[in-house]
Amino acid sequence: MIRTFRYSRVDVDTSANIPSRINVETAAQRLGKAISYQTVSTQSSKDFNESEFLNMHQYLENAFPLIHASLKKEIINDYSLLYFWEGKDPELKPVMLTCHLDVVPIEPGTENEWKYPPFEGKVSEGYIWGRGAMDVQGGVLAIMEAVEYLLSKEFRPDRTIILGFGHDEEIDGERGAQAIGETLAQRGIELACLLDEGTPIVHDVLAELPNPVALVAVAEKGYLSLELSTSAEGGHSSVPQGLTAIARLSEAIQKLEKNPMNNKVDGLVKQTMTAIGPQMPFLYRIVMANLWLFGGLVKKELAAMPATRAALGTTIATTIFESGIKENVLPTQAKAIVNFRIHPNDTIESVIDHVRRTINDPEVRISELPGSINPSQISDVAASPYKTLKKTIREVFPDVIVAPTLMIGATDARHYAHLTDNIYRFLPLRADEGDLDRVHGTNERLSKENYREMIEFYIRLIEESAD
């Protein structure tokens, strides 16, 4: 009870309105125009439309003349953009802001389900509509709007501000963000911190939580895909030769599904619970203030929901299964792809070891596919850059509480891990559950009011972090 009563609430102001320093109507029109460029990334290089990216480059140059007159601009691997806003003190490490220029394709067959054409960039009903409004042309343009505004006020930061906009984040960022990170490393540049796109401000995340939560991802999961394969005697289906290739591999996959890696309420989960707990009703505060006692209960509740269960540990998902050519022919080969999103408590090596021990069948071959990456390190929430970020969020969004979290997907941030220990993944985007379904989905949109807040956030963050 003593711990509970010490678990003080965070003051929030649900009525505060941050005065606007920008013209949101013209800013919304500029974002709408940016959305009209179909900078789509697909897995097939032959579908890449280079002219759309180049047209986007030209548009940004025309829309933000002060940036292109005052900042040093470089083009990386033909389509990614890198800007340097030189600070007054070269001894201070730079701050880097990143987002990406590319967007995902429209799912075939859903074109007629869009209220407005997905690449029209329509501004209507208080929203900017179209692919990329939320992920993440809105982020790119909000950063550009913020810098252009500050330049118009003759602001110059003490420390250098770097802007990095990769062109292939949606397909792993190898030619975009990875190349940008390598370019900076070759020049010996070390960053004070980096802010990439990431988790949003979520509304109605829990029925018991009255306030929106700004989730700042201080780490992200790793990525691993394993190919499982096996062989068996073939022949006619009327004369089976024992355990078929499909049956053997299915048995192996079933073992994996039934024996997941350990889920834990520790580390980042505890930090998240500690941040949001003070705002919850008294009985919930008892639980959150005493996770040493109620950790099992919290784990059970979080594990009951897919979205929160993914934050507790490494996830396992069988995504491809291939075998057989005809209904009456016994297949000689079976192959499956199993995808793992690796929790910071685990590594690529520990996951592979778990798979081998769990399957425990020498007839099932296990091969690591290209593209695997270990989880990121966890950035320190006691570090000065995190405190600055948290302060800025609370200034621009006074109705929210701020909580560190784990990014369960992948971002371009991983390509900059060698440049700084302070990497944060946060997009000042307000979203409820319905809004989140629009990301990579149908009728993606961003409210003009939220877009105004996003621009104000980046303005204030640059002002704060530049000191």
CATH code (residue 127): 3.40.630.10
Decide if 229 contacts 250 (C-beta within 8 A). no
HSE toward the beta carbon, residue 143, CA cutoff 13 A:
24
263 and 343, same domain (yes or no): yes
Tell me how many domains the chain contains: 2
Residue of 368, 371, 253 whose CA lies nearest to 321:
253
Among 368, 384, 419, which residue terminates a domain? 368
Across 9-13, 51-55, 56-60, least confident range: 9-13
User: What pLDDT score does 219 carry?
Assistant: 97
> How far is Cα 10 from Cα 18, in angstroms, rounded to an integer?
19
283 and 188, same domain (yes or no): no
85 and 145, same domain (yes or no): yes
| Residue that is written with structure tokens 């439309």 in the block | 49
Decide if 114 contacts 443 (C-beta within 8 A). yes
396-408: pLDDT as tens digits:
999 999 999 999 9
What's the Rg (C-alpha) of the chain?
Answer: 24
Q: Which amino acid is at 420?
A: T
Q: Is the pLDDT of residue 466 over 80?
A: no
136 and 273, same domain (yes or no): no
- 322-335: average pLDDT: 94
| 386: Cα separation from own chain's centroid | 17
Decide if 168 contacts 175 (C-beta within 8 A). yes
Domain with 130 in it? 2-219+375-465
Structure tokens at 56: 């986007």
10 Å Cβ neighbour count for 457? 26
| Residue that is written with structure tokens 């993440």 in the block | 136
Alpha-carbon distances, residue 211 vs 278, 279, 291, 307 (angstroms):
11, 8, 22, 19
User: What pLDDT score does 381 carry?
Assistant: 95
Q: Is 353 a catalytic residue?
A: no
Catalytic residue among 145, 168, 169, 197: 169
The DSSP code for 290 is T
Catalytic residue among 102, 435, 444, 456: 102
239 and 200, same domain (yes or no): no
> How far is Cα 357 from Cα 256, in angstroms, rounded to an integer?
10
> How far is Cα 199 from Cα 213, in angstroms, rounded to an integer?
10
233-271: pLDDT as tens digits:
888 788 777 789 999 999 999 999 999 998 888 788 888
**Average pLDDT for the chain:** 92
User: What pLDDT score does 282 carry?
Assistant: 80
Q: Which of helix, strand or coil describes residue 278?
A: helix
10 Å Cβ neighbour count for 77? 15
Please report which helix (H) or strand (E) contains residue 218, including its range. Answer: strand 213-220
162 and 286, same domain (yes or no): no
Q: Is 89 a catalytic residue?
A: no
Instruction: Kindly report the pTM of this predicted structure.
Output: 0.91
356-385: pLDDT as tens digits:
999 999 999 999 999 899 999 999 999 999
179 and 239, same domain (yes or no): no
186-225: pLDDT as tens digits:
999 999 999 999 999 999 767 778 889 999 999 999 999 9
> How far is Cα 364 from Cα 54, in angstroms, rounded to an integer?
48
> How far is Cα 193 from Cα 190, in angstroms, rounded to an integer?
9
Long-range contacts of 246-249 (CB under 8 A, 24+ apart): 246/323, 246/324, 246/331, 246/334, 248/334, 248/361, 248/363, 248/364, 249/321, 249/323, 249/334, 249/335, 249/336, 249/364
